[in-house]
A and B are shown apart, each in its own frame.
Chain A
């Protein structure tokens, strides 16, 4: 980690790298985030409607419960776990392949700090774009829930929308974004570490990729509990 945060050789090159990584790690993930979120929201709304099928609970509760589940847990945590698979494996295998094909040695010989050049722009790009992805996920998941409720006739559209707006607290969004930033850092740093210290050949690159995904997923689960305890308890 100390190596990653050393002074960059030339800031303009690093800035360009950050833009490239924002595209690779962020923009390229929008499609999968939207797809998963819409179905996640729809399933949540249907399950809420199924479990709260009693005249004692008002129908708008389904919209409210869907929103709270999406904002507090599903979007930041589940989407980050998905990104740990998609982005984490990409980072580990890219850097691992560069290690075994001596491209990292070539950078070092040129007088470039490879850890800073390869990992720092990825961390910055993920810290910047992950919260955007989570916001997109929150919006799309709630839309998915509304669509599922309306199309199946389980929750009238007006009731669901009222529930989405009911008892809203901005702190919940803040909590969600804090989680997304921490998870982004965990994904990139852990996957980057496993890629950077790969030794061997193609088999070891595959192992590094697997370790990157598994360990960043475990870290996300553990930090999810820690952050929830710190920020909500």
Chain B
């Protein structure tokens, strides 16, 4: 489990996160939703330690992230897999080298063993026969899948996905959502997904946290979100004509 307690983050005069407290449970897809600029990505980067928080604390199991030394932080990070918005694949490496990279860096596995693991991870994301392609030769959906394969290569306990379906067509977005949910359940990971895609919420939202103007505004799940009477949440959820029609607004 990951827990954020009263975390705040300010950039200059702009308070992006304001005393946010939220729990992310193990074995479930924990979704963080909100409009663009609401603070979702900053929250995620604070959770993984890429941004230093101004106030509050982040707890992984029983360890407090902000009190860790550089070396302790490195060990925790080996338990973390992260899918970035653009994939963040290493341009100079092909698909299999990207997936094998953390294994080469942190394990004593032979090349054959690493290759076997990379092939397994790539097959897990339904991406066989792309081993030798460079990131520049991949489509958006393929990049995300390679990034997921790289993120799970080390069998992480924690998986963070920053807008995994941004820029993808609805079908591919669905495939990625289902993949994240399957992997989460299969490996019993604590998964945190940032999204503003309502399809993802309905598809995999075991637990949903709504961030608005840097504050935690609402918590629930995919079943309760449609019934909520929270005005800001409803403005976000029923922002399109289609959803408003479905809701009868």
Contacts and interface: CB of A to CB of B under 8 A. Distances in A.
B102 interface: yes
A108 B159 CA distance: 15
A113 B78 CA distance: 12
The size class of the interface chain A forms with chain B is 10 to 19
Contacts of A102: 84-86, 88
Contacts, number: 54
Given A102-B84, A103-B90, A109 B77 contact: yes
In this complex, the member of A102, A103, A109 whose beta carbon has the largest number of chain B beta carbons within 10 angstroms is A109
Contact of B84 (A13, A105, A113): A105
A101 B48 CA distance: 17
B77 A108 contact: yes
B105 interface: yes
A112 interface: yes
Interface in A101-122: 101-103, 105-106, 108-113
B242 interface: no
Given A101-B88, A106-B88, A109-B82, A10 B48 contact: no
A97 B82 CA distance: 19
B50 interface: yes
B227 interface: no
Contacts of A101: 86, 88, 91
A9 interface: yes
B80 A109 contact: yes
Interface of B: 45, 48, 50, 73-78, 80-82, 84-86, 88-91, 101-102, 104-106, 154, 160
A138 to B, nearest CB: 33
Interface of A: 9-10, 13, 97-98, 101-103, 105-106, 108-113
A84 B45 CA distance: 35
Contacts of A13: 104-105
B78 A110 contact: yes
Given A10-B104, A102-B85, A110-B101, 16 more contacts: A10-B106, A98-B91, A101-B91, A102-B84, A102-B88, A103-B90, A103-B91, A105-B50, A106-B88, A109-B50, A109-B77, A110-B102, A110-B105, A110-B106, A111-B75, A111-B106
Contacts of B84: 102, 105-106
Nearest to B83: A106
B105 A109 contact: no
A111 B78 contact: yes
Sorted nearest first, the 10 A-B pairs with minimum C-beta distance are A111-B77, A106-B88, A102-B88, A111-B74, A111-B78, A102-B84, A109-B82, A110-B102, A103-B88, A9-B105
Contacts of A110: 77-78, 101-102, 105-106, 154
Contacts of B75: 111
B105 A10 contact: yes
Contacts of B88: 101-103, 105-106
B41 to A, nearest CB: 10
A120 to B, nearest CB: 14
